[in-house]
Amino acid sequence: MKGVILISGNGSNLQSIIEHADSIDLQISAVISNEKNAYGLERAKAAGIKTYFVDPKKFSERVDFDQELVKIIDSLNVELIVLAGFMRILSTLFINHFSGKVLNIHPSLLPKYPGLDTHQRAINASDKQHGATVHFVTRELDGGPIISQVVVNVDSHDTETSLAKKVLKKEHILYPKVIHWYTQRRLKLENEGSASLDGKII
């Protein structure tokens, strides 16, 4: 299945997806970044994948930026959009256009800690467990139907950095697995509140 990956930064999840691509039946048609110097673009180029940089500063409105994204993605004729550390909130226009085709990975056990600084927030709350969530993207920020989660234990000596590393290591296993469910056409967005795997509501 042809897919496109949207990034903003280092691209470690992107690297994991590139390395798993053949085994998860994914053909990465392009990597798109909203940050010119995102290291993930270098990872994509090294793997021979087409890259695009879309500069948000060129657009006065968020929806105009998103329309440019839609134009590029439509031209690639893909069936899946994977957000891998893409640090922009997507407009309703984008989400409606690609409804049921957009996956995201978020570094918390949603619905806990949507948004930023998730690891520090988990530490501040003295949580014993933390983790990551793969979900479908809908209009509510980090609020789309949860597909799968992975849990790590929070130790008393954990810092934001050490906890982030633990979670990221698990993300690199979780995300390709869920993407594979999608490329096998086992995974489906039913509505804004639910998803199904093998025909059963998750």
Cβ–Cβ < 8 Å for 132, 149: yes
The verdict on whether 106 is a catalytic residue reads: yes
Where would I find the beta strands (DSSP E) of 122-186?
129-136, 146-153
Burial group, residue 143, by CB count within 10 angstroms (0-12, 13-18, 19+): middle
Q: Assign 193 to helix, strand or coil.
A: coil
d(CA 8, CA 24): 23
Instruction: Choose the catalytic residue: 20, 97, 106, 130.
Output: 106
pTM: 0.97
Domains of the chain: 1-98 (3.40.50.170), 105-202 (3.40.50.170)
pLDDT at residue number 25: 98
Give the three-state DSSP class for 106: strand
Please state the rounded mean pLDDT for residues 32-44: 98
Q: Of all helices (H) and strands (E), which one includes residue 29? A: strand 27-33
pLDDT tens digits, 78-115? 999 999 999 999 999 999 999 999 999 999 999 999 99
What Å distances lie between residue 48 and 19, 135, 150, 190, CA to CA?
12, 28, 31, 35
Say which residue the tokens 């093998």 belong to. 198
If you search the block for the tokens 């509510």, which residue do you land on?
Answer: 140
Please give the single-letter amino acid code of residue 111.
P
Query: 187: closest CA among 153, 146, 152, 151?
Result: 146
pLDDT for 167 equals 98
pLDDT, one tens digit per residue, over 53-81 is 999 999 999 999 999 999 999 999 999 99
